[in-house]
Structure 1
């Protein structure tokens, strides 16, 4: 049982009047408050799959008490830390995250498509002032709470739930002066009995990406699960699940995608239980062809939790059967030679646990940065797996 403050009243989330009150509060745009601390922490109401749920505000997880289900580990333990206050700025009045982007949402001329870098160190673009396309995907995943897992959710997270989480997260984000949700296209799960309704909603959403005349062409953003890549006359077709049409990639973009996301593609192809997530900016030509402008990839496991290496996946697999909540840390735009907390266990007692995986190629600078990160968060207990030393240590 959990209690929330709505208006001037306190409600238990198990009481019969809670859900009707939540629906009324959603319609009146009231913010529920979590009383885990004083003053209470503001939250918001999301509508997912026809249900009303209370969610934490962007970047507010650290404001909750560590014993509260809405508590989130410090963002300094991941690649999110350098972006806060720079590429990501929170509007104090609305709670919305105002984002500065390092990629374009319009196109002039016939510039060829590009693959967003998976390794910022290649071009020294580890710039905290703007979000890359890959970092945009990570922020959507984290804000949508798709980095979190507990065994109690087994069998309950499919693409429909992922989609709802992403769209709700996008409604809390502002880009170019408007809600990200206005330009973010996430395919609906296809159901034969609702074929015409899905087609109509898809056409209405994609109207914003249609070529309408001379001048710069507006682009939209899509997030989806890659079904397969296949050859086309001049490049590749990227098939996304639940869509009846492909996205086109020219040959140059396809070669760059394979070079920059070699690890992600290798991991995806190694196990049919893994999913490959794509984020891309795209436009639709006068002929109705959807073409990618910039693209980035991320591999996730069967529970839709992102991972970078097979060692991370092994740790996630071990943690997946636990009833305690785990939270996957994401790299955003940090290079791979910088440490992050791979996973945190916020509900561990007597203190939250930060889990680090040290790669075999880690050098002295990596160890110095890791020790500094651990020292800066003395309230968290570190767990370290040095891959070069052998098998995974015993879980805490």
Structure 2
């Protein structure tokens, strides 16, 4: 992961390279990391007194300092390179198996459990049963939901700092998602080449935007006798509507292009994402993010093959339910700095922290929301078995027992 955060009042990283210290972007920094790459030197992030080893990756347009695999939790909590221990979220299940980073090249290989091709005449629909339309992987491959969570994490859209308020627009989300997809390989090719994230819509730029979209979607048009190449879409859904045949998804920032959904997939969509759709329908303060695989037929109609939904706040922070949203809003109102925790391929019954506070005095504090569907004894047992329980203090809210307890001090 790149060590620069969203660049909004967050602390700047300082690296020690060949005995000299540089802030990111300072004079001489670009030359220093280029020299370090040529000399196979490891810069050190100086967020802690002893420093944390990093590495330099070469990109098409220069060089970048990245953290070593599995070292995010070794950094200071306010460091842009900090990441909670992988076992605190669903990342621990897939890191090293479905997600493999190569410091030598700076590339990350992703193993997916869903297809990106479609053979002629074959229908590919997600399974009718299970925890999710695609989130049933055992960790050796990323589900569709797991991929969305990974990119959201890599784009740092799970992080919140008070300085981000009012500055996280769709344009910001899009830019960070596309950047997160760079230097990621999937199904033998570049993930970035498969990914389409709609541009912010502008009436004045309508024709140019549509032309760029059609050019990008050209690779998803089938060729006679060959497997159709599918693309990935990450977008905000405006609504799902009946169509003349089947249904369609209306996507924000793409008013000129709906995506077709056949009846079987739509029934599964409504059944699997009943809770998410109810949450979305109950509040105007919720965005609905969709990740989908899709193809384009010979007359230019785009059809969704598989999809997953993720409700998020107005600030694009993922949430599971209304309690999750209440906690996030409380943290934002109190001006706290935190990281939202995602479950990747983990099943819904697996209890994980909702968020991790990173502005506490001693160490980051996981925040848990107990589930109302289980007894107190089961809740306590789940908390004790949580990966966070034996590592550091934690905080738990039981919504059905009373109001939210005071948050850990800043």
1:93–1:215: structure 2 CA closer, same or farther, 3 Å change rule?
A: same
The answer on 1:175 being equivalent to 2:186 is: yes
1:239-318 superposed matches below 5 A: 239-243=250-254, 244-318=256-330
The aligned residue for residue 371 of structure 1 is 384
1:1-396 superposed matches below 5 A: 2-5=13-16, 9-13=20-24, 17=27, 21-22=29-30, 33-36=44-47, 38=50, 40-42=52-54, 60-112=71-123, 114-115=125-126, 120=131, 125-243=136-254, 244-363=256-375, 364=377, 367-373=380-386, 377-378=390-391, 380-396=392-408
Deviation at residue 32 of structure 1 after TM alignment: 6.6
Partner Cα distance (1:8, 1:192) in 2: 53
1:217–1:311: structure 2 CA closer, same or farther, 3 Å change rule?
A: same
Partner Cα distance (1:273, 1:53) in 2: 37
8 Å CA contact 1:115–1:296 kept in 2: the answer is: no
Deviation at residue 109 of structure 1 after TM alignment: 3.4
1:137–1:67: structure 2 CA closer, same or farther, 3 Å change rule?
A: closer
8 Å CA contact 2:388–2:394 kept in 1: the answer is: no
1:217-254 deviation line (CA, Å, top 9, x unaligned): 11111100001111112211101111120110001110
Runs of 4+ in 1 over 6 A off after TM superposition: 23-26, 28-32, 43-47, 52-55, 121-124
8 Å CA contact 2:292–2:306 kept in 1: the answer is: yes
Aligned length: 389
Secondary structure of the 2:249 match is strand
> Which ranges of structure 2 fall in alignment gaps of 5 or more residues?
1-11
8 Å CA contact 2:311–2:319 kept in 1: the answer is: yes
Of the structure 1 ranges 309-318 and 75-84, higher mean CA displacement relative to structure 2 is found in 75-84
> Which ranges of structure 1 fall in alignment gaps of 5 or more residues?
none
Q: TM-score, normalised by structure 1?
A: 0.88
Partner Cα distance (1:257, 1:24) in 2: 51
8 Å CA contact 2:135–2:143 kept in 1: the answer is: no
